[in-house]
Amino acid sequence: MEYLVAARSAVARAIIAALLFAAFALPAMARDYRHFMIGDRDAPTPGPVSPGLLLMGGGDRNFDVMRWFMKKAGNGHLVVLRASQGNEVGEEFYEQVGGILSVETFVFKNRRPSNDPKILASLARADGIFIAGGDQARYVRYWKGTPVAEALDAHVRAGKPIGGTSAGLAILGEYLYGAMDGGSLRSPEALADPLGAANTIETDFLHIERLKGVVTDTHFKERDRLGRLFAFLAKAEAMTGTPRRSLIGLGVDESAALAVEADGSGRIYATDPGGIAWLVRGGFAETQAAGKPLSLRRVDVTGIGPGSVVHLPEGRVDAPVFQRAYRATGGRLQEVAPMMLVIHGGAGVERRDMTPDGERDARAALELALRRGHAELKAGKSALDAVTAAIAVLEDDPHFNAGRGAVFTHDGRNELDASLMDGLTRKAGAVAGVHRVRNPILLARAILERSEHVMMVGDGAEAFAREQGVELVDPAWFRTEKRWQQLQRRLREKEQGAADHGRPGRRFTGTVGAVALDTRGALAAGTSTGGMTDKRYGRVGDAPIIGAGTWADDACAFSGTGWGEFYIRAAAAHAVCARMRYLNEDPAEAGQAVINVDIPALGGDGGAIVLGADGRIGLPFNTEGMFRGWIGADGVPHVAIYAADPLPPPPVP
C-alpha cells in the first residue's frame, strides 16, 4: 500500500513539473520566435522538386520569377525565414503569387530557436526555403554554426530550391558582408579603408556549391554599391589564405532577380527594363594595406541583363549587356577604357613635302600599326607587347623617320635611337647611335628585359643585340632616296647660308611612338627615331631618354616627337605625367601645358601622344601636321595627318 502511495505521489510530481514547464518554458520559447502557417501543410506535393537558386535584389517581387521558384518547389510547401516583421511575405506568396499549397513562416528573435526541433523538422520537410530581407547581422548571429545553418545546407544538397532577397540574398555566398557593427557600409567608406573594421566580412556560414567563391550584394545600382563590392572582394580575398583565391562579386539591382538552374546557368527577371545584375571579377593582384584607400589598377565588371546567361560559380557571362573596367585609386572609382593604343609617326609634317600617294600610304601604315598593336591587346597580351608591335611596323615603313625611313646624319649615315618603358614595373630600355639594328625598339625591349642596364649606345649596343638574337642588317637597309635628298638639300642650304628662321627643329624632323593601355590596366610607352637630318658628332635627342621623350607609370604614358634638345631641357615626358599625377590634369590639359606652352617658350616645337590610365588621350602638337591615330576595344583604327583633319576622340568612359 505504501508502495502505491509513493508511486502515485511520483506521478503527481511529474505531472506538476510538466505543467510548470508548459506554463513557463513554452511561453519563454514562444517569446524567442513567431510562427505563422497558411494553407494545407499535409497535402501531398503535386509536382517534382528540383534544384534552383533565386537571388533577388530587394525591390518589389517579380511574380514571374516567383512562379519559377514555386515550380522548382514542386508547387508544394515553402518555409520563409526572417528575423523581423511578420507574415507579410507568406501572405504575398500564398495569396498573390499563388501556385503553392502552404507557406510556413518563422520569425526569429534570437539564437535559441536555431535548436528548436519544430523549426528543424519544418526545414527538413520544406520543398523550398525563402529567406526574407531585413538585417543580415541577425541572420549571422542567430544561425551561423547552428542546426539551422546545417539544415539550409542539407536542403540545397537534397536538390531543393532556396532563395533570398536583400539581406536574405546577402548571406548566401561563401563570403558575405555581415554588417556586424550595426551599420550599413557605404561605398565611399568602404573604398577609403577596405580592410577596416567596418567592412565585416564573414565566411563559413552557408556552403552552397553554386555560390562558392561568390560575394553577393543587393539594392545595387539604386544605392551605388559597386565601390563597396570591390572592397568586399578585396577583404574577402585577403581572408582566403596563401595563395589567395580569386573570388567574384555578384550585385543585383532592386528591380532584378537572378534565377539559377541546377547546372549553374542563371537568367535575369526584371520588373524594370534597366534592372540587371553586376558581375565583378576579382583575383586582384594588389595587396591592400590596413587604413589605406583601395588601390586596384583594373577591375572588370560585366552586366547581366534579361538576354544574358551567367554561369556560376565560374562567372562566365554569355551576351552581356556591357563589359566595363574600373580603376580604384585614392578612395575613388574611375571607369577606364577596356584597352587603348595611340600612335604617332612624327610631328613636323608639312603639306609641301607630301604627295597624295604619300599621304595615302602613310595613313595605311598608321592603320596597319594600330591593328598590329590592337591584335596584341585583344589576345590579352601586355601594353608593352602592343607598343613594341606597333612601333616595329612603323620602323619598317619608309614613310617615317625611324628604322628604314630614318634621316641621314651630316656624314651620310643613319643613326638610330629608341626607348621603351613599362608603366607597371617602371622598367625601361633604351638604345642610341646604332647603325645596323633593323628594329631598334626590339633592342630596347631586350635591354629592358634581359640586362641590368637602361641605356646602351653604339657598338656596345650592337654587340648586345648580336648576343640576344636581335636582327642586324646591312646599313643600306635603312637608305631611302627621299631621306638622302633631304640631306643633300639641307647641305646645299647651309652652303648657301640659308636661314632656318629660328626653327630648325621643324624641318625634316620626325619620330614614331606608341602608348598603350592593356586589359590589366597597365600602361607602356615607346619611341623610335632616326633623329634630325644633318645631325653631327653623335648627337642624341630626346627619343631614347627616359623622362624626356618617353615615360610610363601607373597613371600616364607619353611618347614625344619634335626638337629633342628642348624636350630634354623640359624633361617633357615626365613633366606631362607629373602634371597628371600632382595637378590632376587630364592628358589633353597636361600635354597642352608642356608641349604647346613650355617647349615653345624655350624655343622648341613638336608634338606628343599622352594616354591616361582611364583611357583618355591627349594629342598636342604645334606644327602643321603630326601623323597620329588611336584604336580602342572595337578594333576600328582612326588616323589623321594635318591639324585640320577630323579625328574623333575616343569615347569617354
> What does the pLDDT read at residue 653?
66
How many helices (H) and strands (E) are present in the chain, helices listed first? 18, 30
Rg (CA), the chain: 34
Between CA 157 and CA 169 the distance in angstroms is 18
Give 28-46 pLDDT, tens digit per residue: 445 899 999 999 999 999 9
pLDDT above 90 covers a percentage of the chain that reads 81
Residue 626: closest CA among 519, 546, 512: 512
φ/ψ (deg, to 5) at 611:
-135, 130
Give the confidence band of 486 by pLDDT, cuts at 50, 70, 90.
confident
> What does the pLDDT read at residue 485?
87
Between CA 529 and CA 531 the distance in angstroms is 5
Q: Is the pLDDT of residue 21 over 80?
A: no
Q: Is the pLDDT of residue 140 over 60?
A: yes
Mean pLDDT of 574-599: 96
Residue 56: closest CA among 253, 342, 257: 257
CA dihedral (387, 388, 390, 394) in degrees, to 10, reads: 130
> What does the pLDDT read at residue 364?
96
> What does the pLDDT read at residue 8?
41
Between CA 551 and CA 265 the distance in angstroms is 45
Give 74-111 pLDDT, tens digit per residue: 999 999 999 999 999 999 999 999 999 999 999 999 99
Positive/negative CA dihedral, 133, 138, 140, 142: negative
Give 373-427 pLDDT, tens digit per residue: 999 999 999 999 999 999 999 999 999 999 998 899 999 999 999 999 999 999 9
Between CA 585 and CA 570 the distance in angstroms is 18
Between CA 210 and CA 314 the distance in angstroms is 9
* This prediction's pTM: 0.75
| Three-class secondary structure of residue 306 per DSSP | coil
Mean pLDDT of 548-562: 96
Looking at the annotation, which residues are catalytic?
Answer: 511
Give the confidence band of 472 by pLDDT, cuts at 50, 70, 90.
very high
ω into 649 cis (within 30 of 0): no
Give the confidence band of 481 by pLDDT, cuts at 50, 70, 90.
confident
The pLDDT mean for the chain works out to: 91
pLDDT above 70 covers a percentage of the chain that reads 93
Element at 560 (helix H, strand E)? strand 556-562
Q: Which residue segments constitute the domains of the chain, with CATH numbers given?
A: 35-163 (3.40.50.880), 173-250+268-336 (no CATH), 340-642 (3.60.20.30)
Give 314-355 pLDDT, tens digit per residue: 999 999 999 899 999 888 998 888 899 999 999 988 888 888
List all residues 6 or more positions away from 68 whose beta carbon is below 8 Å from its beta carbon: 52, 54, 259, 269
Q: Is the pLDDT of residue 555 over 70?
A: yes
Which range has highest mean pLDDT (59-63, 68-72, 495-499, 520-524)? 68-72
Give 460-470 pLDDT, tens digit per residue: 999 999 999 99
Q: Is the pLDDT of residue 306 over 60?
A: yes
Instruction: Write out the DSSP string of 200-258.
Output: -EEESS---GGGTTEEEE-STTTTT-HHHHHHHHHHHHHTS-SSPPP-EEEEE-TTEEE
| Three-class secondary structure of residue 37 per DSSP | strand
Cα separations (Å) of 382 from 143, 377, 386, 387, 451? 47, 6, 7, 9, 20
Give 245-259 pLDDT, tens digit per residue: 999 999 999 999 999
> What does the pLDDT read at residue 499?
57
Give 491-534 pLDDT, tens digit per residue: 988 888 765 554 454 554 579 999 999 988 899 999 999 988 88
> What does the pLDDT read at residue 605?
94
> What does the pLDDT read at residue 69?
97
Contact 404, 398 (CB under 8 A): yes
Between CA 148 and CA 205 the distance in angstroms is 10
Contact 436, 472 (CB under 8 A): yes
